[in-house]
Amino acid sequence: MQHGVGSFFGPLKSGAIFLLSCLLVLSCREKGTAGMGGTLPTRDQVAAQEAVRRAGEKNNSRGPEKCDPPARNAAMTVASGADKETTDKGAGLRFVGYNLANWLVLDERYDEETKKKGKDVPKPEAEKKAVVAVVAAAKPDVFGVCEIGTRDDLIDVQTRLKAAGLDLPHLHYTGGVDPTRHLGLLSRFPIVGTAKPVDTTYQIGGKDYGIQRGILDASIKTPDGRSWRFVGVHLKSKREVEEGDQNEMRTREAELLRRHLDEIFKADPDVRLIQYGDFNDTRMTNPLKVVQGPYNSPRALMPIALKDSRGEFWTHYWGREDVYSRIDYIMVSEAMRKDVINDQCRILESKDWKTASDHRPLLGVFR
């Protein structure tokens, strides 16, 4: 965020007047995760699970945002009262994207301290505190999360951040056919619209399967009147399943995401779009190439070259394979490139990063 330049005149005893200026200081305020088990859902199961999820959202009145409008295309559904924000020219935005490493109740969870497995265990309190500490210190205006459980789990994150001094009152929650892991967005600014992709299924061996964690699509408006569109994703993990090759599944999900992005660009070629998430793959793989789009195309997305204080780019540690890799990204549309403050964007570090998650959070800072 940018803050106004303050100045004042102070009278001195000699009667002379000196102008003292206060200079502006710019501050930068899975993977091997388990899938849904060994079986992917069919088209009928996808439809049934979607109906249950929508009904649950409709009946849940808690939180500042109600359920998604039943949009059937990539155009945004605009909420009433969205233009009541006062204009504050010069405002910017800080965004954090983060895979929270199963902020949810797991059927079976391994405890590092006791070295034992437990049944139906939530994310340990120490891990939650470590997540909240690193995110609250970063002071994002918008916070996009992967691997959140229920909507109540997302509200739990929201509540804990507020207690830590970071108030993000606006909420959006969505998911795919995976009943366990979902996507969420918390925002300081009003969420003025959401959208759902038209296509959410792909085929393997003649059978239809649904995108596991879904595609989050939400737009906010900052006080300066600008709109910011956030598209979040968590692609299929590298965990093998019986139905087919996990890389092919991830590529098919990437194609669904790209199709949704193309619809967005078709409706608004100059959209201010930020794509983020856990892609479960590295830069030169097919899924990443698909999502980024054709090189030098107006529909292409540019990954921000995030790195930590040591100049390292890895965002995830896969303990089972002892591998460090960059699989989490923030990408921007052509209209957003000029607004990226590259020297303030980075991979966030903390001494408890491994306690919080097997991923490290990403910070994007924009004018």
How far apart (Å, rounded) are the C-alpha atoms in residues 180 and 76?
A: 27
DSSP state of 330: E
Query: Which distant-in-sequence residues (6+ apart) come within 8 Å of 334 by Cβ?
Result: 270, 298, 300, 302
What fold is seen in the domain 33-366? Deoxyribonuclease I; Chain A (3.60.10)
pLDDT score recorded for residue 295: 87
Q: What is the pLDDT along the chain (367 residues), one digit of tens a residue?
A: 444 434 333 333 334 333 333 333 333 333 433 333 344 555 555 455 555 555 544 444 344 343 343 344 455 554 433 333 323 344 589 999 999 999 999 998 877 666 678 899 999 999 999 999 999 999 999 999 999 999 999 999 999 999 999 999 999 999 999 999 999 999 999 999 999 999 999 998 888 999 999 999 999 999 999 999 999 999 999 887 777 788 899 999 999 999 999 999 999 999 999 999 999 999 999 999 999 999 889 999 999 999 999 999 999 999 888 999 999 999 999 999 999 999 999 999 999 999 999 999 999 999 9
pLDDT score recorded for residue 197: 96
β pairing state of 191-194 and 201-204: unpaired
Handedness of CA 280, 194, 337, 292 (dihedral sign): positive
β pairing state of 316-318 and 116-121: unpaired
Q: Please give the single-letter amino acid code of residue 114.
A: T
Written as one string, the DSSP assignment of 81-144 is: TGGGSPP-TT--EEEEEEEEEEES-EEEEEETTTTEEEEEEPPPHHHHHHHHHHHHHH--SEEE
Domain ranges of the chain: 33-366
Q: Please give the single-letter amino acid code of residue 300.
A: A
Residue in the structure block whose two tokens are 């995976």:
178
pLDDT score recorded for residue 321: 87
